[in-house]
Structure 1
C-alpha cells in the first residue's frame, strides 16, 4: 500500500477547483449561464454569447421563445410527468401523430426516449429483439460508418465511427463493423462522377454484409446528415 504525504497530496491538481460539478474539461470552470434570449446566452457578468452549439442539441428554437414558454407552462399546469410504462398523455399522442404524418411511408409508430444516445441504444435493442421474435437469433452484427457519431453511451459509441472517441473504451464496446462515409471532399477520386463515387461507397455496405454473412446482420446505422464528426455532410 502506498502512502501519500500531505505535501504530495496537496500538489495533486483538483479538477475544476471551486465547483462541485465535474465539468467536461478538468482545467477550467465554464462561464455560468444565467439567462437566454433568442440566439444569445448571457453569463453572470452580463456578457452575451452567440449560442452556436445549442442548436445542434436542444435549443434549435432559441431561448425564451414566448410560444415555447407558454406551452411549457400550460403543460406544467396540467401534469409535469407520467411514467410512460403506465400512462399515455395528450402531449405524447399529439406529437406522435404529427411525427408519423411527416415521416416516410411505412413508419406508423413512435417510441419516445430522453435523448439521442438512448434512442440509438433502443434502436439497437429493438433490432435484436425483432429478429429473436421472428425466429432469426443469429442476427447480431451491426454495420455503421466511419467518422459517424451516434451518442455517448457504450452501445451508441460502439456503432459510432469516430476512432478518437472510441479508442480508450474499446475493451468495453460491442462488436460493430464500419464502412466508409460518403465524404466526397476527401474520398472521391478525380476520375469519378458523383454517381460512380456514391455507388462505390454503397457497395461497401453490400461487401460488409456478405463478409459477415447476410443471415447474421441485424442492422445498418447511418445518420441522414453528418455533423458532429465530419462537418455538415449532405445525405
Structure 2
C-alpha cells in the first residue's frame, strides 16, 4: 500500500507499513495482517502489552483532571517518584522525570557535572563512555555514545568524551585468548580516567546489558563490582543507562541488580510507560540530592514535558501493573526459556556466532565465518533481511543496528518481547526465527 505522506520519516527510501491496532502481544496492519510482536514495538518499549484497560482508564481519568501542570507538581508525579524509588536499588531515592531515554541520559550527564560544581570540584566535567554503546540522539548523550555509525555524521559537533573498551566477550581484544574474562575491559575504565586526569572526570556511563549498539551484550559477573571500585577510587559517579534494560526486562527490577552493584544515577525510559505515553526518568542517590539541596538549591535544567501529570499517571499505572501481575518474575522465567530455546534452535547454525542476553532481552550475532568471526559485508544487511523474513512469517523482531564488530561492520539483532509473553509464544517466535535464519543463510552464505 502506497502512502501519500508529508512526514519527514527516518528512512525516506523504504516505505513503512501502516499500523491499524494492537492488543496484548499482537499488532495488526491496515491490510488486516496480524503479527506476534517479539520486538516490544520495534524499539523495545512495550513492557506490559498493548491495550491494557487499567492503563487506558488511568490515562482517561488523569486527562479529565489535568493533563499539564505548568508550575505545579502533581500527585501522579509525587506518587510515581515514591514508588519508582522503592522499585530501584536501595539508596536511589530521588527521581527527575523527563520525556524519554535521550533526555534521561542528557539529564544524568548534566546532573553529574552539577553535583561536582555543588561540592566544590568544578573541574570535574568529562564523561567516559564505552565503545559499542548507545545513550541517545541529543548531543550530550551522543557524545557519550560509542556507536561509530550513529556518531559519524555529527562528530564535529560532539563533546570530547572518551570511551573505554566494551565488555564484549565474543569479540574481546583484551583477553580473547584466555579461558575466562580477566576484567581487562573494566580496568580500561581506570586507564581512561587516568588519561583524562581524575580531577577532570565526573562520570562513567554504561548499559548493564547493551541494547541498540550490540544487542544483548552482557558483562562478566565481576565487571560492575570492579567498575564501582574504580569509580569510588577516583571520585567518579557511576551512571547506569537502563533505558532499554530497566523496569524488569532482564528479570530483575533493574539489570544492574544482576551484578549487585549500586550506581549513583540510573536513567530509565521505554518500559517505564510501556509506550502508552512518552516518559523517562533519572533516579539519583540521596547524597546527590542533598548536595544540590544544601548547596545552591537549584538544578537549573529541564524539559517542557518533564513531570507531565498525564505521563506520570500512565507510568504509575504501568509500574503497579508490573508489580501486581509479577511480570518481572515472568520476564525472568520465560526469558530464560527464550534464550535457551534460541540457542538450541539456531546456536549451531553456520552463520550464528553468539546468542546472549538476560530475560526478555536476547541478542543474536550473525557472521560470515564462525571460525574467524568475520562479519558480513554491510551492503548485505543480513540482520534486516532476517527481520523482514520473520515479519513475512508473522513475527516481529528487532533488527537492531549494524556496526557492532568494529564500528562499521557487524550484524546483531534482538528478540525482545513484552514481559507478558508465554512459552507458547516463544515457541512460535523461535519457529519463525529458525526458518528466517535458514532462508537468509541460503541467500548470503
| Displacement over 6 Å in runs of 4+ | none
**Correspondences of 1:1-235 after superposition (within 5 Å):** 18-51=4-37, 52-54=39-41, 56-83=43-70, 86-187=71-172, 188-194=175-181, 196=182, 199-235=183-219
The Cα of 1:116 is off from its aligned counterpart by 0.3
Task: Give secondary structure in 1 for the equivalent of 2:59.
Answer: helix
Measure the CA separation in 2 of the matches of 1:229 and 1:191: 25
Measure the CA separation in 1 of the matches of 2:211 and 2:44: 11
Q: How many residues align?
A: 215
Mean CA deviation greater in 24-33 or 156-165: 24-33
Task: Give secondary structure in 1 for the equivalent of 2:211.
Answer: coil
Measure the CA separation in 2 of the matches of 1:37 and 1:105: 35
Task: Give secondary structure in 2 for the equivalent of 1:110.
Answer: strand
Measure the CA separation in 1 of the matches of 2:59 and 2:192: 46
Unaligned runs of 5+ in 2: 220-445
Query: 1:150·1:160 contact (CA, 8 Å) conserved in 2?
Result: yes
TM-score, reference length from structure 1 = 0.85
Unaligned runs of 5+ in 1: 1-15
Higher RCO (Cα < 8 Å, 6 or more apart): 2
TM-score, reference length from structure 2 = 0.46
Q: Deviations over 1:44-94 (max 9, x none)?
A: 2212233324274432221111222122222222222213xx211111111
Q: Deviations over 1:27-59 (max 9, x none)?
A: 133111121111122122212233324274432
